[in-house]
Amino acid sequence: MEPLARSAGILLHPTSLPGLYGIGELGAEAHEFVRFLRDSGQKLWQILPLSPTGGDGSPYSSYSAFAGNPLLISTERLIDDGLVEKDVSRVPPGPVDYPAVISSKAKLLREAYGRAKPGKDFREFREEHRGWLEDYALYMALKGKNGGRPWTRWGGEISGREPGALKKARRELEEEVGFHEFVQHLFFEHWGDVKKAANEAEVEIIGDIPIFVSHDSADVWANQDLFFLDEKREPSVVAGVPPDYFSETGQLWGNPLYDWGRMREDGYAWWVARMRMALTLYDAVRVDHFRGFEAYWEIPADAETAKEGRWVKGPGDEVFQAFEKALGKLPIIAEDLGEITPEVEDLRDRLGLPGMKVLQFAFSGPDNGFLPHDYRDANWVVYTGTHDNDTTAGWWNSASPAERNFARRYLGRGFVSVWDFITLAHASVAARAVVPMQDLLELGAEHRMNTPGTTEGNWAWRLEETALTPELAERLRRLTETYGR
C-alpha cells in the first residue's frame, strides 16, 4: 500500500445530514456538506456503511452487504425529476424516527416506480450489478410477500433455493423484483453524484465494511454453503467477543460465522466481490473488527452468553492476497481496536495497513499506546472518537479525575476544551486525522451516534441546519493548514 498522504477529515454519516424529510439524504444537503469540507480544507469524509437498515437504523445490521440504503435516496431529486408530487409533507428538524421514515419513503418510492420509465441507464445498471442484484431484489420481494419474516421461515423449497421454486418466485414477483432493482438504481445514481462532487472537491470518501453480515440477509440466503448453518439453516455457531474490562460476559453478536475453508476453495470469491463493490462506493475502506481475520471468537448458537466461546484462527493473509490478486493494492484501514494480540498487529503490519488511534482511550498514563508521542510512524488514522464513542465533551465530563489530571499535564493546560483534543489529533504524526462532526461542534453526550450494547436511541443524531457556518469552516481550515494537512 502506498504511504498515506497527510490529510484531515470529518466523520459524519449521511443520515445525520440536515434536511426536510426526516433523515439526511443524498440531495442538496449532501452537496452542501461537500462544499463545507472543501471550504474547511478537509480531504476526507468518513461515513458508516451505506447498506439498507431495519427499523433500528443500525448500518451494521443489514439485509445486504452490497445494496444501498433506500432511505438515503433524495426526495428533492425525485420531485425535480417528476417522479413524485411536489407537495411532499415535510418533517420538523430533529432525530431520525426510523419507522416513520421507512414508511414515508416507501410510499414515495412506490409512487416514483409507478411513474418511472426505466431506460438504457437502468438496463445497464441491472446488467452491471447482476451478480448481487438479482438475489437481493428477489430476497426483498419474498420478504415482503412473507410479512417480513426471516428467510428460514419462507418454506423449505424457497428457503433452500430449489431451482424450480426460485424460477416460479421470479415469475410471480416480477413486478416487485423490478421495484427493488429500480430503487437500487436510484440509490447508486444519487450516491454516485455525491461521490463525484466530493472527488471533484479533492475529498476522499472513507467507507466501512463490517466483517460479519446478518443471518437474515440476501447474502446468507443466497450463499448458504459459505456459512456455518445447521439442518434448519440457522447458525450453528455465531460471532461475538469474549469477556473483557467492559463486559463480564462478553458480547454475543449473533452473526453467522464464515466457513473460511469453503471460501478458500473458490479464492474467496464472495469477499472479493464484496470488496470490489465497496471500492465502487468509496475511495478507501475501514475494515471493521479487523482482528477477526487473524482469529475470531466462535460461540455455540445455543449459548446464553459469549463466555462459552473460543478463539478460532481466521484466514489471515490469504483473503487480502485474494483482494490484491483481483483488485490490486487496496486503500484499506484496519479497525484494530479492542483486544489486540501481537498476532493481530503482525498481520496488520505485514499487510502494511494503517491502524486506528482514538484519543479518548489515551489518558490512562504515559505508557498508553494511544498517546501521540508513542505512534512512532505515520501509518495511522487518529480520531478524537468514533461513532461508538461518546462525544469528546461527553467523555470529558464523565472521565475519571486521574484521566483528567493526566490529560491536563499532557496538554500542558489547566483548562481543557474539546478543540484541544482536535488540535492534538491534527498535530500528531499520524498521516490522517478524522474528527466526528459532534466534536467540531463541541456537543455533549446527548448527541452521540451509538452506545454499544444498547438498542434504543442510536443512529438517530442529525446536524442542525445552521451548524455549518463560515466561521467554523475558517477555524478548521486554519488548524488544518497549521499542521500541514
List the beta bridge partners of residue 356.
Answer: 381
Task: Give the per-residue pLDDT at 455.
Answer: 83
DSSP structure string for 388-408: TSPPHHHHHHHS-HHHHHHHH
The length of the chain, given as a count of residues:
485
C-alpha cell belonging to residue 223? 450463499
Other C-beta atoms closer than 10 Å to the C-beta of 212 total 22
Residue 2: DSSP 8-state: P
State the catalytic residue, choosing from 39, 111, 157, 388. 388
pLDDT value at residue 237: 98
Homologous superfamily (CATH) of 7-482 is Glycosidases (3.20.20.80)
Distance (Å, rounded) from C-alpha 401 to C-alpha 276?
A: 47
Cα 77 from chain centroid? Answer: 24
CB 13 within 8 A of CB 437: no
Sequence letter at residue 415: F
CA 416/CA 436 separation, integer angstroms: 18
In angstroms, rounded to a whole number, what is the distance separating the alpha carbons of residues 53 and 57?
5
How far apart (Å, rounded) are the C-alpha atoms in residues 280 and 286?
14
pLDDT of residue 2: 61
Q: Which grid cell is 348?
A: 496488520
Helix spans in 117-207 (H): 120-128, 130-145, 156-159, 163-172, 174-200
Q: How far apart are the first and last CA of the chain?
A: 20
Burial category of 482 from C-beta neighbours within 10 Å (exposed 0-12, middle 13-18, buried 19 and up): exposed
Examine the residue annotation and report whether 244 is marked as an active-site residue of this protein: no
Catalytic-role residue among 204, 208, 335, 390 = 335
d(CA 382, CA 120): 44
Q: CA-CA distance, 314 to 295, in Å (whole number)? A: 5
For the chain, give every domain's residue range. Answer: 7-482
Distance CA 355, CA 159 (A): 40
Nearest-5° angle of CA 50, CA 51, CA 55? 115
Q: How far apart are the C-alpha atoms of 430 and 456, rounded to whole Å?
A: 35
13 close to 60: Cβ distance less than 8 angstroms: no
> CA-CA distances (angstroms) from residue 94 to 24, 167, 382?
11, 45, 30
From the list 309, 271, 308, 263, the residue with the least C-alpha distance to 287 is 271
Closest CA to 253 of 291, 213, 225, 284: 213
Which residue bears the cell 495497513? 353
Cβ pair 169, 138 in contact under 8 A: yes
3-class SS string, 9-70: EEECCHHHCCCCCCCCCCCHHHHHHHHHHHHCCCCEEECCCCCCECCCCCCCCECCCCCCCH
- With cell 412506490, the residue in question is 110
User: Annotated catalytic, 259?
Assistant: no
**Residue 404 — φ and ψ, nearest 5°?**
-65, -45
Distances (CA, A) of 323 to 130, 270, 283, 331: 20, 11, 15, 11
Say which of 25, 29, 288, 294 is annotated catalytic. 288
For the chain, 485 residues long, give each residue's pLDDT as a single digit of tens: 566 899 999 999 999 999 999 999 999 999 999 999 999 999 999 999 999 998 899 999 999 999 999 999 999 999 999 999 988 889 888 999 999 999 999 999 999 999 998 889 999 999 999 999 999 999 999 999 999 999 999 998 999 999 999 999 999 999 999 999 999 999 999 999 999 999 999 999 999 999 999 999 999 999 999 999 999 999 999 999 998 766 788 889 999 999 999 999 999 999 999 999 999 999 999 999 999 999 999 999 999 999 999 999 999 999 999 999 999 999 999 999 988 999 999 999 999 999 999 999 999 999 999 999 999 899 999 999 999 999 999 999 999 999 999 999 999 999 999 999 999 999 999 999 999 999 999 999 999 999 987 888 999 999 999 999 999 999 999 999 999 99
Cα 399 to Cα 248, 363, 404, 422, 440, distances in angstroms: 21, 10, 6, 17, 19
Nearest to 391 by CA among 454, 461, 344: 461
- The alpha carbons of the chain give a radius of gyration, in whole angstroms, of 23
CB 356 within 8 A of CB 384: no
For residue 31, count other CB atoms closer than 10 A to its CB. 16
- Report residue 331 as a C-alpha cell: 486503500
Q: How high is the pLDDT of residue 93?
A: 85
Judge whether 95 and 86 are in contact, CB under 8 Å. Answer: no
C-alpha span between 343 and 363 (Å, rounded) = 25
